[in-house]
Amino acid sequence: MKTLHWRFLTFDEKPVAAASIAQVHHGTLKNNQEVAIKVQYPDVEQRMKIDFTAMAFLSKSVSLFFPEFTFDQLLSEFKRSISAELDFIQEGKNSERTALNFKKNKFIRIPHVYWDLTTRQVLTMEFCRGQKVNDLEFMKVSGVNPTKVAQALMEAFAEMIFVHGFVHGDPHPGNILVSPERNNGFSLVILDHGIYRELDEGFRLDYCQLWKSLILLNSQDIRNIGERFGVGKYSKYLPVIFTGRTLESKSPLGTQMSKEEKKHLKQELQSLRMEDISSFMESLPPELFSILRTDGILSSISTKLGASRRMRLLSYAKYAVYGLAVRAGSEPGNYDPSSFKPDMSYIRLRAYIELLAFALKIEDVGRSLANKVSIMHITIHRVYVALFRSLRVIWQLVAIY
C-alpha cells in the first residue's frame, strides 16, 4: 500500500471500517475527490485456506457419527464466497455491473471504482456518506421515512433476484447506507460487492414462476417447479418458507396462519426426521440457498424499519411478474416495466397484486388513524377482511374475461 501513497493528497492511517478480510481507509485524490480505500490484510488468503480445511475436517468427523447430517452444500457455498471476497478486481467488476443494472433507479447508488488505484488486494472507490440502513434514530433526525427506505430496499433486491439474476450475497446493515437527499428524500448506497450469485436463466424464470404460483396458491405449478428444483416431495413446504402459509391455507397473503393451520403444520413437521431435514437442505439448488440467506437478512432489516410481511411479499410478487417478461440477454440497465407487452395472464396477476397493494395502503391509513384517534374502534383487521372479500369477487370477474 505504501507504493500507492504518493497517488493521494491525503490518506488516513486509521481505518474507518474493518472486517474479517480487509479494512477501509478514507483518502483524498489530487483532484480533491474523496475516496474509500479497501486494503486486504496480509496472508489472509492462506489463513482462509487453513480455516476451510479445518471446517471440512470437522464436517466429515460429524458425518461419521451422525450420517443424517451432511454439510457439503454449506462448505461449497463457504468456499465459493471466500474465494470471491478475496479478489478485489472481481469485486470492482461486480460493482460496475450492478451500477449499470440500476442506472435508471433514482434510489440506488453504487460507488464509482477507480481502476488505476485498484489491484487484487486493494480496491479504491468513491467515498459515499451515510448511516447504516437500520439506524432509525438517524432517519428520524434526517426526516427520512423508514418505511419508504424498507420499500426501496426490498424492491432493489427483488429487482436483483427476479429481473437481473445477479444478486448481492451479503446485504447486512453495514453494507447498505442511507444517504439523505433534498426534501426528505434519500438514496441507498450499496457497498461490498465481493459476494454475488449469478442465477442461471432457467432458474431465474422458474423462481419467478414459483412466486406467481405462491401468490395464487397454484399447488400443481408449485409441485412442478419443486421437482425441477430437486426438492421433490418437500415442495409442499415452499409456500411456508417463502410466504408463511401452507398450500391449504385460507389466510390472506401476509397474515398469520390460523391456530388450526399452525397446529396441523406443527404435527406434520414433528413427523420429519433429522435426515429428512438434512436431505431437504442438501437438495436445494445453490441459487435457492443463496437467495434464502439474502432474504433472511433483508427480512430482518425490513421488519426493524416497520415494513409488514405483506409489503415484502407484494414487492417480490410484483418483480416476479416483471421478471417473467424479461428476455434473456437484455441489455443491462434497460429494464423498464412500462415497455413490457403483457398477455392476459400477466394482466390478471398484476391486477391481483395491485389490488392487494391497495389493501395494504388502506391498512396503513387505518393504522395511522387508529393511532391518532382513539375513539375509532374499527380495527384494521376488519378493513382488510372486507377488502379481501371484495378482491375475491373482482378476481373472479377478471378470470371470467
Question: 3-state SS of the chain: helix, strand, coil percent to 5?
Answer: 60, 10, 30
Contacts of 32 (CB under 8 A, 6+ apart): 9
CA dist 188 and 250 (Å) reads 37
Enumerate residues 6+ apart whose C-beta is below 8 A from 89. 118, 119, 120
267-272-273-276 Cα dihedral, nearest 10 degrees: -160
Angstrom distance (rounded) from CA 69 to CA 85: 28
Whether residue 348 contacts residue 187, with contact meaning beta carbons closer than 8 Å, is answered with: no
Q: How far apart are CA 37 and CA 1, in angstroms?
A: 10
Which residues are tagged catalytic? 170
Query: Cα(120)–Cα(40) distance, rounded to whole angstroms?
Result: 9
- Grid cell 460487492 is found at 193
Find the angle CA(298)-CA(312)-CA(151) to the nearest 5 degrees: 80
Residues 131, 176: Cα–Cα separation, whole Å:
8
Position 102: which residue type? F
Burial 262-277 (b: 16+ CB within 10 A, else e): eeebeeeeeeeeeeee
The CB density around residue 25, as the number of other CB atoms within 10 Å, is: 21
